[in-house]
Amino acid sequence: PLTGSPVTLKILQNWVPRVSHYFDKEHYTYVGHQIVIQESIEHFGAVVWPGALALSQYLESNQEQFNLKDKKVLEIGAGTGLLSIVACILGAHVTATDLPEVLENLSYNISRNTQNMNMNKPEVRKLVWGEGLNEDFPVSTYHYDFILATDVVYHHAALDPLLATMVYFCKPGTVLLWANKFRFSTDYEFLEKLSNILNTTVLAEFPESNVKLLKATVREN
């Protein structure tokens, strides 16, 4: 069951208006850094969706509650890499993962936005939800303080593998932060399944964008 009374927030217009010759680049400002994101029209994962903006903004504003400094952070379905870059600026050791066809653009955005910074460079790795988790991310070696996921739930066939992936990485002490636009009954069904397995709280709602931000942790018993 869901717990908590969420705060109501707006997604702020954190992107910077600019004159640009590139239609495919968006400029954002988080934590005092300008971040330039190259989107790709070929892949779903290569566009900045509202959940990424919502969670980036939330992490920037709630650094005391969710202190990422020197924490191990895994982003699943990292897409353009915006959120992983923000987590990196906040001091985290980030592993950004996505499907093989998204990794080139993801790597480009991450290296471009973190190259001149005195911080831990994010690692970019392939992760297909529900596949090869024990081989690629064995429990004995990999423990994450935070799992980040934004706009990973929409009309697609991989919802069960996605749920299995979230549960696999959610160990005792891990906090899963998931922001998603809620549009379809399948979105709510996924939330129900997740809250049946993990302790799930709604941290924030962004009603104008239909985005909910949820926190999930392992049940203690």
What domains are there in the chain, each with its CATH number?
44-218 (3.40.50.150)
Residue 20 pLDDT > 50: no
| Mean pLDDT, all residues of the chain | 90
- The stretch 81-106 carries a mean pLDDT of 95
Q: What are the structure tokens assigned to 14, written together?
A: 């954190």
Q: Which residue has the higher pLDDT, 20 or 15?
A: 15
* Distances from the Cα of 95 to the Cα of 1, 146, 150, 185, 191, angstroms: 30, 11, 15, 31, 24
| pTM exceeds 0.75 for this model | yes
Sign of CA dihedral 102, 46, 133, 67: positive
CB 150 within 8 A of CB 77: yes
What is the rounded distance in angstroms from the CA atom of residue 46 to the CA atom of residue 52?
12
Q: Tell me the backbone φ, ψ of residue 6, rounded to 5 degrees.
A: -70, 155
CB 206 within 8 A of CB 10: yes
Amino acid at 157: A
Write out the E strands in 53-122.
Answer: 72-76, 93-98
What pLDDT is attached to residue 48?
A: 81
Q: Among candidates 118, 106, 120, which has minimal Cα distance to 52?
A: 106
What is the rounded distance in angstroms from the CA atom of residue 96 to the CA atom of residue 84?
6
If pLDDT is split at 50, 70 and 90, which confidence band does 15 have?
Answer: low
Neighbours of 82 (CB within 10 A): 26
Amino acid at 151: D
Helix axis angle, 82-89 relative to 103-114, nearest 10°?
30
What pLDDT is attached to residue 41?
A: 64
Look at the block and give the residue holding tokens 């968006």: 26
Q: Among candidates 203, 184, 200, which has minimal Cα distance to 192?
A: 200
What is the rounded distance in angstroms from the CA atom of residue 49 to the CA atom of residue 31?
19
113-145: pLDDT as tens digits: 998 888 889 999 999 999 999 999 999 999 999
